Amino acid sequence: MIRIAVELPGHAAYPVVVGAGALGETAQHTGERPFGIVDLPVYEAHGALTAPLCSLVVAPSGEEAKDWETLELILSCMAHEKLDRASVALAFGGGSTLDVAGLAASLYMRGIRVVYCPTTLLAMVDASVGGKTAINLAEGKNLVGTFHQPSAVLADTRTLATLPDAEWRSGLGEVVKAALVEGEELLALVERSASALAARDLAAVEPVIAACVRSKARIVASDERESGPRKALNLGHTFAHALEKVAGFGAIPHGVAVACGLALALEASERAGLLEDASLRARVDSTLRTLQLPRSLGELRRTHGALPARELLAAMRHDKKARSGVPGFVLPRRAGALELSVALDERAVLELLA
């Protein structure tokens, strides 16, 4: 079991516990009878893992959960169970479930504690750390949300055994992003572990999850509200959010879109003359191939339809990072060194997406 303390200025430090059996610590972090929120696949696969609860809301899984209906359902159940400001919510599931459960916890009585039990690789390496919560609007992903830090994260790698292959690969997309953001050491670990990660070796994935969490915790601690350094975590995401929106939310798994977004960001960086490490594109390309992730927009179009360049551009203009309709791109110079807000002109973006 690996323990990481996340320390954010102005918040109590909270632990992230990574390893087989982490869920055994649930009661010590929630106290008696927390209010449970779980997504359907997790409920079906791991119902018995859950601690005694005061109530359990079963939510849809994936992007479907991130809507007004699920948010209202959770909040109405919280009120019906007469939770008070000392109550604790316990969320089991993938990133979408944690996002909507965390939003509900942040809103109920203006904020109660929430413990996250991520059950997907993507949620373990990314969604469960950092305190962003959200639901989607028809106009775009994550347009409604809050910053609300969990009081503990229990990443039990045993829950990954039942994860569908597509979800596993999606998590690996965020792993590669974390490596590019963090730098050479994590990138080398991911390259060395790539075959084992592709083969779903749980012993190999544990230190990788822990390294991703440490990296993200460090970045978030320096900039909780994303006014500066935290923007680095959006590497590949301006592209990814546009791909997900144009394909229809849920059609492309988030981390798969991120993988493609990383390839596009590297290409954009090279075209813009920003890329300093000439070998980086080839290394990431090779790693994405080993991990069975898309390495180009062309590859994604073969599996997910046309994804027209103009529609992608229009989606980017309304990205949360855009200002007055001009998207800001995070582009890598080398692993661990990123430009945080590059305004590419429209023609350059369209050529890249052609």
Binding site for its own copies (CB under 8 A): 10, 68, 72, 75-76, 79-80, 82, 84-86, 106-111, 132, 134, 137-140, 143-147, 225, 317-318, 320-325
Is 80 an active-site residue? no
| Neighbour order of strands in the sheet with 14-19 | 2-6, 14-19, 152-156, 113-118, 88-93, 35-39, 55-59
Closer by beta carbon to its own copies, 56 or else 75: 75
What is the C-alpha to C-alpha distance for residues 112 and 224, in angstroms, rounded to an integer?
Answer: 19
Of 25, 63, 167, 174, catalytic: 174
CB 140 within 8 A of CB 241: yes
Closer by beta carbon to its own copies, 40 or else 107: 107
Closer by beta carbon to its own copies, 274 or else 314: 314
Is 234 an active-site residue? yes
In angstroms, give the least distance from the CB of 80 to its own copies: 6
Residues in the chain: 354
In angstroms, give the least distance from the CB of 145 to its own copies: 5
In angstroms, give the least distance from the CB of 267 to its own copies: 26
**DSSP code at position 179:** H
Q: Which residue has the tokens 């493609």?
A: 260
Is 148 an active-site residue? no
In angstroms, give the least distance from the CB of 225 to its own copies: 8
| Cα dihedral sign, 218-114-254-166 | positive
Pairing of strands 337-342, 329-334: antiparallel
Is 304 an active-site residue? no
What is the C-alpha to C-alpha distance for residues 303 and 166, in angstroms, rounded to an integer?
Answer: 13
What is the C-alpha to C-alpha distance for residues 293 and 262, in angstroms, rounded to an integer?
Answer: 11
Of 29, 66, 231, 237, catalytic: 237
Pairing of strands 132-137, 113-118: unpaired
Is 241 an active-site residue? yes
Closer by beta carbon to its own copies, 14 or else 43: 14
The residue among 304, 307, 306, 313 whose CA lies nearest residue 351 is 313
Of 82, 110, 139, 347, catalytic: 110
CB 220 within 8 A of CB 129: yes
Is 237 an active-site residue? yes
In angstroms, give the least distance from the CB of 177 to its own copies: 20
Of 66, 230, 231, 245, catalytic: 230
Closer by beta carbon to its own copies, 322 or else 337: 322
Is 29 an active-site residue? no
Is 230 an active-site residue? yes
Of 132, 141, 281, 334, catalytic: 132
Please identify every residue annotated as catalytic. 110, 132, 174, 216, 226, 230, 234, 237, 241, 254
